[in-house]
């Protein structure tokens, strides 16, 4: 007999702890963090450069971290805005983590910074699962990427406080159906604001900057269904007298690893547990990477949403502190000196 199990402890609890601390520390300094997520080639860097330049022109103190697997090209591009910029090289890691952001900011972030923009690695899977201590998460998509992309990447779009379309000057040649795109976004994230932008024409640049500045003094007006949630370090037990005789226990010392056991006296005689490497094992020795599968007869509520950590759980050694001993394998590139503002 198969049954669904509600996992109450975040898989990435250690990252969440660091992110919460970082967010609080920066808030005390009056800094709001904006996390930018998109696929490679969406025009994210070009748009961010325009936003930074507009902020400098308006006298708003901003700064930026930009992450890539290799090269300092994006940092050089962004530094033309006149804002302080630092490149983070991830050495092959497909996302940023809170510990990397915290390390890069030590001794570098100017004291008067109002908004720190973090340009994540171009990827809509893994970055969606990592809270970086941001106040505002923006997910960007070029109009050339297809109207159904929000349905293909529901975790990323479902965790966004703001959705931005880029390269809107190409909408007509690309045959972009904006109405269909908006409907798809709101299927996974009802009520989220969608802003049209174009780096070439300047459309939407001020709007993006204004939305970021608004979060300095108030929480974003929209709470997405997959917003990061506080994780529970306590113990959770299902009633041992229920019909399924199932016992669920979250160990506060297991760094996010879950142990779930079905009572051997129930009709299914099934035992399920997560081992320290993040795999799920059943009696038939089937393996899944941290995911439980529903079967006919399982009850799944139609309004249930996956947690951001469910879709993009890291594999052992993929930058997860639980597997790499907490060491940061990425390294900072030298800070790029901003060009004088014209």
Q: Can you give the pLDDT at residue 263?
A: 43
Sequence ranges of the domains in the chain? 14-228
pLDDT of residue 69: 87
Closest by CA to 99, choosing from 35, 10, 11, 14, is 14
Please check whether residue 33 is in contact with residue 301, taking contact to mean a CB–CB distance below 8 angstroms.
Answer: no
Domain 14-228: give its CATH code.
3.40.50.300
Alpha carbons within 13 A on the beta-carbon side of 14: 17
pLDDT of residue 195: 98
Cβ proximity of 182 and 194 under 8 Å: yes
User: How far is the CA of 146 from the CAs of 190, 200, 271, in angstroms?
Assistant: 19, 20, 43
b/e map 230-258, b = 16+ CB within 10 Å: ebeeeeeeeeeeeeebbebebeeeebbbb
Stretches where the chain sits below pLDDT 50 are 5-8, 230-332, 339-342
Q: In the prediction, which pLDDT does 24 show? A: 95
Burial of 134 (0-12, 13-18, 19+ CB in 10 A): buried
274/254 Cα distance (integer angstroms) = 11
Q: Check if the beta carbon of residue 187 is closer than 8 Å to that of residue 150.
A: yes
Tokens, residue 223: 């709470």
pLDDT (tens digit, 9 = 90+) per residue, 144-188? Answer: 999 999 999 999 999 999 999 999 999 999 999 999 999 999 999
Task: Give the count of beta carbons closer than 10 Å to the beta carbon of residue 284.
Answer: 6
pLDDT at 31: 97
Give pLDDT, residue 2: 61
Per-residue pLDDT, 13: 85
- pTM for the whole structure: 0.68
């Amino acid at each position: 007999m198969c049954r669904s199990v509600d996992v109450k402890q975040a898989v990435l609890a250690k990252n969440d702890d660091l992110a919460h601390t970082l967010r609080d520390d920066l808030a005390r300094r009056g800094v709001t963090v904006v996390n930018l997520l998109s696929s490679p080639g969406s025009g994210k860097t070009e748009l961010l450069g325009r936003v930074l330049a507009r902020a400098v022109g308006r006298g708003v103190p901003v700064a930026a971290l930009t992450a890539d697997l290799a090269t300092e090209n994006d940092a050089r591009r962004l530094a033309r805005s006149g804002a302080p910029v630092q490149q983070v090289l991830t050495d092959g890691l497909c996302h940023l983590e809170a510990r990397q952001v915290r390390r890069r900011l030590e001794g570098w972030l100017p004291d008067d910074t109002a908004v720190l923009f973090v340009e994540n690695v171009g990827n809509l899977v893994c970055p969606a699962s990592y809270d970086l201590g941001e106040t505002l998460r923006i997910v960007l998509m070029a109009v050339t990427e297809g109207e159904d992309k929000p349905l293909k990447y529901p975790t990323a779009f479902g965790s966004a406080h703001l959705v931005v379309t880029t390269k809107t000057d190409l909408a007509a040649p690309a045959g972009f159906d904006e109405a269909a795109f908006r409907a798809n976004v709101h299927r996974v994230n009802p009520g989220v604001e969608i802003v049209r932008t174009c780096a070439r024409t300047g459309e939407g640049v001020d709007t993006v900057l204004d939305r970021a500045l608004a979060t300095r003094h108030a929480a974003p007006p929209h709470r997405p269904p997959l917003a990061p949630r506080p994780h529970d370090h306590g113990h959770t037990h299902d009633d041992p007298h229920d019909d399924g005789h199932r016992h669920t226990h979250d160990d506060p010392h297991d760094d996010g690893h879950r142990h779930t056991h079905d009572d051997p006296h129930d009709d299914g005689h099934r035992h399920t547990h997560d081992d320290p490497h993040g795999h799920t094992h059943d009696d038939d020795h089937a393996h899944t990477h941290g995911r439980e599968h529903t079967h006919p007869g399982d009850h799944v509520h139609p309004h249930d949403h996956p947690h951001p950590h469910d879709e993009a759980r890291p594999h052992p050694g993929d930058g997860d502190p639980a597997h790499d001993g907490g060491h940061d394998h990425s390294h900072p590139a030298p800070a790029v000196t901003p060009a004088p503002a014209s």
